[in-house]
Structure 1
Amino acid sequence: MALINRALITGQDDLFSLFSHPSPLRDFAVVSSFFTEQTAATLIQALGDISFSHYCVWSPSHSEHDLEKAFREPDPNYPHLTVHARPRQLNNEVFERVAKSLGSPDTLQWLSTISGRQIAYMDPRHVLTRWGPGSFLGPHLDAGSADDPVALVLSISLTQEWRREWGGETVFAWTDSNARVTSYPKLNQAVLFAPHSGSFHWVEPIAESAPDSMRHTWTLHYR
């Protein structure tokens, strides 16, 4: 846990209160300065060593229940759930070292405490994404399946100096609430939430004027 901002660890009671409060959304928190400054800087530097490829999820039958996914360019003939970029394999020593820390027993216990969930392990299939012009992600839940539900999502922005006119904000809108939370990309900001059947969220389209390789998000799922 040495890689996480010490103030968040010592302030876990305040984090639990923030997470469990029903306003603006239940089981939800936005946290600034998640990692130590050194850890965040090391991750940003490591991004330059990673190769990204276009990744799409689309429906060949125009049905939301019939989805395919692959590394490919988007096809304008089909509706897409998402278009973005990600590594074909995230074989990066820095990210693997930080992921190992985020999946350690001490971190699992801390996340269990601040979320009120019993978290057993971190899914090893953590996802690093890059969002350039035209990228977007449609509404989805991140809840997993009935047989393998997700207890907690941790999504960390690794984006520097993002302008709001470039779009790409993430919107969180639970079906049991009239509130919405809009999160703009900000370096070292984390969003934590416990997904459920109404935990819809999405990424608004990135403007064509936005830079191609500035907006990055690292998402980890806990069960």
Structure 2
Amino acid sequence: MAQGKFVTYLRVSTKRQGDSGLGLEAQRAAVETYLNGGAWTVCGEFVEVESGKSDVNRPQLQRAIQACRIYGAKLLIAKFDRLSRDAHFLLGLEKAGIEFVATDNPHANRLTVGIMALVADEERRAISARTKAALAAAKARGVKLGGDRGAVLSAEAKAKGAQVRQAKANSRAADLLPVIAEIREAGAFTLQAVADALNARGIPTARGGMWSPVQVQRVEARAASARICVRSCWT
């Protein structure tokens, strides 16, 4: 039974199919059947007219993924092949923390992507085993191994960590800024009004909580300092 938040993504391969609606109706029907019952919320629907061979020129898919990040939602598709046939792309979704469900195989994300991840993990295990064997052989030859085990980070490592955190926060601000701009254009003039609108839309904060005026101000200030331009994720 479906639970939680979802963003639906529908794709047809030709413009003719997109104009006529052929294929889309069947996909919508499959999505509705999957969502029949349970406690769920659909945060948005994105429709693409593009070949599955290309993951680069698929702006609606990128906007759907952006919406998943904003709402903390799962990507819901009618058929597994509607998302992508590229294994590297699918693993990229998993790495980015985007969960997805295919109605024709609800466990595809765990079975298919999971199997590929297990293969990679097995390779890492093999590398680790070879490294340990080499270290054991070196130790047997009298080579002194190891050193100071204290986890003292260098200034460079700390700076890199700060850069990673800043990049992540900037990315989150870039996702949210178009939504905040849309809310303000609708008449929300105060920070409290914007926070209330974000909460009403079910958009969580970065830590999964409720919005406050201070948090809205921080996002807008970060966007301004990073010179992030407003670009609508819905059009």
Q: Pick the TM interval, shorter chain.
A: under 0.3
TM-score by length of 1: 0.26
Say which structure is richer in strand: 1
TM-score by length of 2: 0.25
RCO higher in 1 or 2 (8 Å CA, sep ≥ 6)? Answer: 1
Say which structure is richer in helix: 2
Looking at CA atoms only, which structure, 1 or 2, has the larger radius of gyration? 2
